[in-house]
Structure 1
Amino acid sequence: MSIDTARGILGDATLAELEAGLRGSVVRPGDAEYDQARAVWNGAHDKHPAVIVRCAGTADVIRAVEFARSQDLLVAVRGGAHSIAGFSTCDDGIVIDLSPMKGAVVDPARRRVVAQAGMTWGDLDHETQAFGLAVTGGLVSTTGIAGFTLGGGVGWLLRRHGLASDNLTAAEVVTADGRVVRAGPDEHPELFWALRGGGGNFGVVTSLEYQLHPVGPQVLAGLIVYPLEEARQVVTGWRALIGDAPDDLTTLVNLTTAPPLPFLPEEVHGTRVVAVLGMYAGDPAAGEAAVGPLRTLGTPIADVMGPMPYTAMQSLLDPLWAAGAPTYFTSAFIEPSDAAIDALLRRHLTTPTPFSELHLHQLGGAFARVPAEATAFSQREASVLCNVIARSPDRVGFDTHVAWARGAREEIARHGHGAMYVNFTGDAAEDKVRASYPDAVYERLVSVKDTYDPTNLFRLNQNIRPSAPV
């Protein structure tokens, strides 16, 4: 069966030749597994690629990149398929699917792991926790490691060990011309710098090497839920605490609607609440003193903060973030002034669905001590990252929900410097990308793009345009 694309026709013989050069497989429209293969986590995106290449290894990625270039196809790169903006898929182009690539080698003596880019954080935590080691991972364990890391990587170890990208020590990359390069401090150092915060602009990252740290297996973690009428005192009390919090403690405030969870009284199900989540990365016994003040911010509806396996905290939110629901994120680095808190609480009262939320991520600690010039992720000064989430069970009225999130972000961002976190950006808007990097950083990213992807083959991302794309 021939397949029409925006650029031409892919014939059966052409696709057969592609598949013959792979260890993995090709999925075409009309194949029994096509609909499952094209689905992504975010149900807001329903795309129909011309071909999906399920890569078994780096050689398959090289072949897929060469094929995309030869056929002038739009390229989407998929790891965990959690891209909020839908970059994991496309219409009429090629999806380079890395999800079969799940190998990992842990070196406990050096505290390093080399992980293939198809792994999720649940996969990687399983491997590293066998040795009592971890690196900053996602807040939902089904998130892929690669896209998360390339955009920065905010998680429960952020204040103790920095972003995931801060702990990236090397990466294997297939560039737009089909070369395989190893980027690290001593090899392709500019590319290595750009990969730590510049997103998927520069090639297909096929494996990532991380510095690991002793974590767990038990940590002090969980959440405390407070009623809506105490939201202001909870948020302002949290603001007062985070300035003196030890680096081992990373917290998050969630302005949300109470889900029907067994530890919550039935009468609060479906009502607006404020939850304080956190994890103490050190000795759980020592963490009680740090966590204790979080329990006194108001009158708790529920307190499920206590010792638990690190992997349990990493997957605690998974049931609330299953695949398929249309979802939109937008974000702003802010300072939680009284006016900012007023704006947040107003927007909380107008959330369009019970699944829409506003998150306040505590920053600082190790995250803030990384020199701004060390990585492409250079937004290190703000004390809080606000993530505005619109989420719905289906697409009906979803545009209205997105408009709510954008409006909330616009109001809240006035209390910061306008920058977004690229992993929490639901739009592929050039002005938002420019605003997320200081001018000098952006120009340096353009220079790296010029070197490794001058034709902008990899443009399904928060795109750094080359100087003069062909």
Structure 2
Amino acid sequence: MTMRQNGSEVLGEATLDEWARDLRGEMIQPGAPGYDEARSIWNGAHDRRPALIVRCRGVADVLKTVALARGEGLPLAVRGGGHSIPGFSTVDQGIVLDLAPMKGVRVDPGRRTVTAQGGCLWGDVDAETQAFGLAVTGGLISTTGIAGFALGGGLGWLVRRFGLTSDNLVGADVVTADGRYLHAGGDEHADLLWALRGGGGNFGVVTSFEFRLHDVGPTVFAGPVFYRGEDAERVLRGFRAAAPTAPDELTLAVNLATAPPVPFLPEEIHGKPVVVVLGMWSGDPGAGDAATRPFRELAPAVVDLFGPMPYLAMQCMLDPLYPRGMWNYFRSAFFGDLDDTTIGAFLDAYAQAPNAVSELHIHHLGGAMGRVPADATAFGTRDRDFILNVAARSMDADGFPATIEWARAATGVLGPNAAAYVNFTGEAGEDRVRASYPKDTYERLVAVKDRYDPANLFRLNQNIRPSAAR
């Protein structure tokens, strides 16, 4: 079969057959069985048709695929878990390098580290590390890939106690644009490791990650408590008052949402506005009730589901609410304080939510995350105690443009220059990327980009443009 782009031949059949001769993984082209399934990604808003999908089984396949894209001048999308909100996990008329078959996980309990391949999901990593009572800050949805999550920072239920996922990244194996296979860690390619810790997928294909692990679980004190929507202002004010005294072992978020039709909620509240305080106490489970109680008594509760539970259960609790195929647009902004003006703006946005599946999430940060020196990693913003993540969603295309405008307006109240979180940014754009990093950090990222990807082969991401492309 011949790869074609805009009706013109991209790669001849003989060339492609020769290239694929030693491929250990699977090569999928348009028209082949399974193509439509292989090209789909988690975010249903992106329906693209790659000219070639390569499901890599190992580093050799990754090296071959990068060389093909570089040699033929084709756009290259690197896919880990496929959860990219802006759709960077796929591409029209280019190559998708799919790491999904590469799911090896190896825990070293003695060194307290885990090495995980780039196709792993958080559920894969959590299952292995919890066998030893260990964990690293992971995703709030267990089906999220570790790669994009870690490279962009990584906010999860352990962020206040142990920092970002990227803060715990101590080594990485990387295939670079020029075909080198490098290890970044310790004294090897320290500039690359620094950039990978928050700079996204700009610098190469990370085929494996090595993370520092910590004692967590198997039981934590965690869960949600539901309040009625009419108590939203009271809850937010109470959350503001209680948050400064929260210990590092406690990470919390407030979701302004609509009650789903689930059996643990009274039927009369289904489809009605609710305020959900979710969190995890990762210290001694016996101390969890007292530590979380100030956040579970902010108003009369509809239902309080906090209690001892397996760490693994908390890590996948939200999975059913974020299924594959919905149309998603996320927007984010860091901010310093839940003052009265900010609370009022969030309540106004909440009242204008376009549908029952679009929500405002306010995450409490600080703790260990805030104590990492600003220049120690490429992650851009550590001096804000909160972040607003807007999950603007619809079941399909109907009404989706309105959800996007709502999300933009919701974060816009924090100012046009509010720093964003690259993992929760729904569109590409240099302005949004620059807003995600302090000026000195951004220029340092450009220097690393110039060294490892001067031609910007890895540009399907929140792109740090090299000097030659600026």
Alignment TM-score, normalising by the size of structure 2:
0.98
State the Cα distance separating 1:8 from its structure 2 match: 4.6
Equivalent residues in 2 for 1:80-95, closer than 5 Å:
80-95=81-96
CA distance in structure 2 between the aligned counterparts of 1:240 and 1:20, rounded to whole angstroms = 63
Question: Alpha-carbon deviations, 1:382-416, whole Å to 9, x = none?
Answer: 000100111111111211111111111111346xx
- Residue 155 (structure 2) aligns with: 154
User: What is the Cα deviation at residue 295 of structure 1?
Assistant: 1.6
Which residue is equivalent to 1:425?
Answer: 425
What amino acid is the match of 2:340?
D
1:438: which partner in 2? 438
Distance 1:103 1:278 in 2: 30
Does residue 459 (structure 1) correspond to residue 439 (structure 2)? The answer is no
- For 1:166 and 1:283, the matched residues in 2 are separated by 23
TM-score by length of 1: 0.98
SS of equivalent to 2:155 = coil
2:274 is aligned to: 273
Q: Which residue of 1 aligns with 2:339?
A: 337
After superposition, give the CA deviation of every residue in 1:344-391 in whole Å (9 maximum; x if it has no partner): 011001110100000001101000000000000030000001001111
- SS of the residue corresponding to residue 443 of structure 2 reads helix
Identity of aligned residues (%): 60
User: CA offset at residue 15 of structure 1?
Assistant: 2.1
Report what 1:193 is aligned to. 194
2:102 counterpart of 1:117? no
Whole-angstrom distance in 2 between the partners of 1:444 and 1:455:
17
Please name the residue that 1:447 is paired with: 447
Whole-Å separation in 2 of the counterparts to 1:413 and 1:319: 33
CA contact (8 A) 1:232 1:341 kept: yes
Residue pairs, 1:371-450, within 5 angstroms:
371-413=373-415, 418-450=418-450
CA contact (8 A) 1:258 1:269 kept: yes
Letter in 1 for 2:61: D
Superposed counterparts of 1:12-27, under 5 Å: 12-27=13-28
Structure 1 match to 2:352: 350
Aligned equivalents of 1:350, 1:112: Cα separation in 2:
45
Counterpart Cα distance in 2 of 1:230 and 1:49: 48
CA distance in 2, matches of 1:19, 1:303: 56
Q: Is this contact kept in 2: 1:121–1:137, CA < 8 A? A: yes
Q: Is contact 1:21–1:63 with CA below 8 Å preserved after alignment?
A: no
SS in 1 for 2:320: helix
SS at 2:66's partner residue? helix
Q: Verify: 1:53 aligned to 2:54, yes or no.
A: yes
Matches within 5 A, 1:261-300: 261-300=262-301
SS in 2 for 1:412: coil
The RMSD of aligned alpha carbons is 1.1
User: Shift of residue 4 of structure 1?
Assistant: 1.3
Structure 1 residues 435, 131: CA separation in 2 closer, same or farther (over 3 Å shift)?
same
Q: Aligned to 1:372, what secondary structure does the other structure show?
A: coil
Contact 1:344 1:412 (C-alpha < 8 Å) held by counterparts: no
How far apart, in 2, do the equivalents of 1:191 and 1:458 lie?
14
- Counterpart of 1:301 in 2: which secondary structure? strand
Alignment of 1:61-80 (within 5 A): 61-80=62-81
CA distance in structure 2 between the partners assigned to 1:413 and 1:245 by the alignment: 27
Give matches, 1:291-330, under 5 Å.
291-330=292-331
Residues 135-174 of structure 1: matches in 2 within 5 Å? 135-174=136-175
The amino acid across from 2:398 in the alignment is: V
Work out the CA distance in 2 between the residues paired with 1:279 and 1:325: 27
Determine the structure 2 residue equivalent to 1:365. Answer: 367
Partner of 1:204: 205
How many pairs does the alignment contain?
468
Query: What amino acid maps onto 1:344 in structure 2?
Result: F
Mapped contact 1:19–1:25 kept (Cα < 8 A): no
- Distance in 1 between residues matched to 2:372 and 2:415, nearest whole Å: 24
Q: Is the 8 A contact 2:332 2:390 kept in 1?
A: yes
* Contact in 1 for aligned 2:2/2:9 (Cα 8 Å): no
CA contact (8 A) 2:219 2:311 kept: yes
| 3-state SS in 2 of match to 1:256 | strand
**Which stretches of structure 1, 4 residues or longer, exceed 6 Å deviation after superposition?**
none
Residue 2 of structure 1: aligned partner: 2
Q: Distance in 2 between matches of 1:316 and 1:208?
A: 25
Q: 1:158 & 1:245 partners in 2: Cα distance? A: 13
Q: Which amino acid aligns with 2:372?
A: V
Report if aligned partners of 1:47, 1:89 keep a CA contact under 8 Å in 2.
Answer: yes
1:151–1:199 contact (8 Å) kept in structure 2: yes
- SS of 2:226's equivalent? strand
Residues 111-152 of structure 1, C-alpha deviation per residue, up to 9 Å, x if partnerless?
A: 001100100000000110000000000000000001000000
